[in-house]
Amino acid sequence: MQDTGLTGQNRMTLENILKRFPAIEQVKLYGSRAKGTYNSRSDIDLVAFGQGIDRAVIAEVLMDLDDSDIPYLVDLQAYHDLRNPQLIDHVDRVGVVIYP
């Protein structure tokens, strides 16, 4: 596993939250944490895959993450909602599967 700056506890918390949402089939980490260029203030950029993911699911996951012990800001988007071609390419090239 490459260095993402996330502790085992952070990853376990993420997994425990994400598994409560059956619509979420897979989650990829992207951005500085996926590239290994993160710093102590870097957020966690996530993209969720699954046909049943809607804004309500994203909002619920983000609320649960905000209430968790993860000490970083988390950005979560559904892959099928991405519109920026450069972001889609970035996720496809450097995204790291962190769930399941």
Q: What pLDDT score was predicted for residue 2?
A: 83
Answer yes or no: are the C-beta atoms of 33 and 44 closer than 8 Å.
yes
Q: Which domain holds residue 19?
A: 8-99
- Read off the pLDDT of residues 59-93 as tens digits, 9 standing for 90 and up: 999 999 999 999 999 999 999 999 999 999 999 99
Q: Into how many domains does the chain fold?
A: 1
Q: How much is the average pLDDT of 3-19?
A: 97
Q: What pLDDT score was predicted for residue 58?
A: 99
pLDDT at 1 over 80: no
Q: Is residue 3 part of a domain?
A: no
- Read off the pLDDT of residues 16-38 as tens digits, 9 standing for 90 and up: 999 999 999 999 999 999 999 99
Q: Which residues of 84-96 are buried (b: 16+ CB within 10 A; e: fewer)?
A: eeebeebbeeebb
Q: What is the CATH number of the domain that holds 21?
A: 3.30.460.10
Q: Is residue 1 part of a domain?
A: no
Residue 23: partners with Cβ closer than 8 Å, 6 or more residues away: 50, 51, 52, 53, 54, 57
Return the structure tokens found at 63. 């609320």
Q: Is residue 55 part of a domain?
A: yes
What is this structure's pTM?
A: 0.95
Q: What pLDDT score was predicted for residue 40?
A: 92
Residue indicated by tokens 């012990």 = 69
